[in-house]
Structure 1
């Protein structure tokens, strides 16, 4: 069935999703570099707005999106979309969170390996002609305790992968953790404080909310095991960066790896120069497979939602 409607794509997405939308009969305008100011003036012409993380869908944009039916995020989370205002205007907000589960999970493991075996330091030194083999005594993941904060799709997948490496798992979430899953991976469920005190590695998988802002703060960092590692691929606001700087400088913790930051791109030079910190530029979902899947998933969801609205309209 062909669908009528105009779609604007405001960020770079894989071409597969665009092809699916066009094949369904939708008119797609691809403007991956459009500014928010330009979008404000153009947005009235579209039924569907597609974004990733670059574009911020503000109240002003939604107010001007008089024909909008759907705002779609090609990724996890909705923190760059004013969902409250969208709901007021009867604009449905959807995402493709399931598409990046494996990509983000594998990055977490990559960061854990990099921290444990000093891979960035070894790489840089060797390329500079320095043979520092005797200084690079690493740590094995086998048998270590991995604390997972947030047991959603990504947190659960990280647990399964880590279990394959014969790590011990500790989990915390604000919602009840599925008992059958906990049994499957031998997950110890506990409170946040106990998780932080007990873990050799801690990985964060929670959304950005008022409750999770600076969830990892000075107090929590102070009770981490000496020499333990912290990984964050969720949202930058989850960790108090100034408190993290202090913890890394005084060697209270062994190291940290961040894929997300309180301000992106990060501007805190005091943070970026630390040699016991690994930084990546928000690449959690940046795999060929992940981007293809996210683009396809969101396109199919958009088509389904528009068909549902079309059917409702025909009945009335």
Structure 2
């Protein structure tokens, strides 16, 4: 019998597991759960005889992939997939997929929620500022970026976007102002919402020179990956510009220095929380299950991310 593993050190909500089970068992497959594990050896043992696997933030390293003797398809329930060793998958003929769009609204709501929180000074009783009338820049106009833009317009913000992979006409059709360069985006906007992936071209690309282009009171909002931030440059900017603030869905490695020196000018969630809603949890899990079934039954590689 075809076997599908859900391997999650941060488990899906019970409703999501039940929904995944309906899809997997409805296809005549067996569902296996590995939840809240603490040792990589548990994951390596669990993958030994499975045909499909759904993970969240779990590390599908080369060691894990090579231990999965029957694995045909692995799905990351979420947009980012830098936790999968794509080269190892390709070498073994395993299809790696993500579930783009399923977490997008949850991430976008978090981005705007963190902006409001910092704008109102953490609700500490002091006067803050409003988002209405401010410029917000969307750095990468994908699924999450589109949701951020839509919500920001509801706040009365003016929305700009930069994405060299999206046609200017498509961006402007959404009522968003498309800019030609990343420098123009940062120099124009009070807030920049960051949605770029972490890869060889983007890691540490958000640096001092780029951030220093932002207007007075500039705030960077990062719900992407911490690796895209040049932390040394960020700390220098925080020191040089007392007006600048940083919000992130994942704490930087230098978080202790922020806590010691920049109180009131930053906010970091205790863990990556963009997808932590009941709806996103269920949507991404169901999408992952359906993608595994569709690949095994029909060879559907729509969301494949490896070559």
Other-structure match for 1:255:
245
The separation in 1 between residues aligned to 2:163 and 2:299, in whole angstroms, is 35
TM-score with structure 1 setting the length: 0.86
- Deviates further, 143-152 or 273-282: 273-282
Equivalent of 2:158 in 168, 171, 174: 168
Q: How many residues align?
A: 290
> What SS does the corresponding residue of 1:230 show, helix, strand or coil?
strand
Mapped pair 1:278 → 2:267 = yes
Mapped pair 1:49 → 2:53 = yes
Deviations along 1:211-265, whole A, 9 cap, x unmatched? 1111211211222222111100011111122322332244444311110245xxx
The separation in 2 between residues aligned to 1:31 and 1:240, in whole angstroms, is 35
Mapped pair 1:67 → 2:70 = yes
Other-structure match for 2:197:
207
The separation in 2 between residues aligned to 1:190 and 1:66, in whole angstroms, is 48
Other-structure match for 1:189:
179
Confirm or deny: 8 A CA contact 2:135 2:189 kept in the other structure: yes
Other-structure match for 1:304:
294
Mapped pair 1:9 → 2:6 = yes
Confirm or deny: 8 A CA contact 1:143 1:166 kept in the other structure: yes
Confirm or deny: 8 A CA contact 1:247 1:253 kept in the other structure: no
Other-structure match for 1:218:
208
TM-score with structure 2 setting the length: 0.88
The separation in 2 between residues aligned to 1:178 and 1:297, in whole angstroms, is 30
CA positional deviation for 1:199: 0.8
User: CA-atom RMSD, angstroms?
Assistant: 1.9
Deviations along 1:14-60, whole A, 9 cap, x unmatched? 2121332123221111112333223223422111121101x211112
The separation in 1 between residues aligned to 2:130 and 2:177, in whole angstroms, is 20
Mapped pair 1:32 → 2:35 = yes
CA positional deviation for 1:100: 0.4
Other-structure match for 1:231:
221
> What SS does the corresponding residue of 1:278 show, helix, strand or coil?
strand
Larger Rg: 1
Other-structure match for 1:314:
none
Q: Which has the higher contact order (CA 8 A, sep 6+)?
A: 2
CA positional deviation for 1:121: 5.3
Confirm or deny: 8 A CA contact 1:272 1:279 kept in the other structure: no
Confirm or deny: 8 A CA contact 1:196 1:223 kept in the other structure: yes
> Given the superposition, is the C-alpha separation of residues 196 and 253 from structure 1 closer, same or farther in structure 2, using an over 3 Å criterion?
farther
Other-structure match for 2:305:
none
Other-structure match for 1:128:
none
> Given the superposition, is the C-alpha separation of residues 150 and 140 from structure 1 closer, same or farther in structure 2, using an over 3 Å criterion?
same
Deviations along 1:279-312, whole A, 9 cap, x unmatched? 11211010011111111111111111111149xx
Confirm or deny: 8 A CA contact 1:8 1:28 kept in the other structure: yes
Mapped pair 1:143 → 2:133 = yes
The separation in 1 between residues aligned to 2:113 and 2:95, in whole angstroms, is 36
Confirm or deny: 8 A CA contact 1:74 1:95 kept in the other structure: yes
> Given the superposition, is the C-alpha separation of residues 228 and 309 from structure 1 closer, same or farther in structure 2, using an over 3 Å criterion?
closer
The separation in 1 between residues aligned to 2:213 and 2:170, in whole angstroms, is 30
The separation in 2 between residues aligned to 1:272 and 1:21, in whole angstroms, is 45
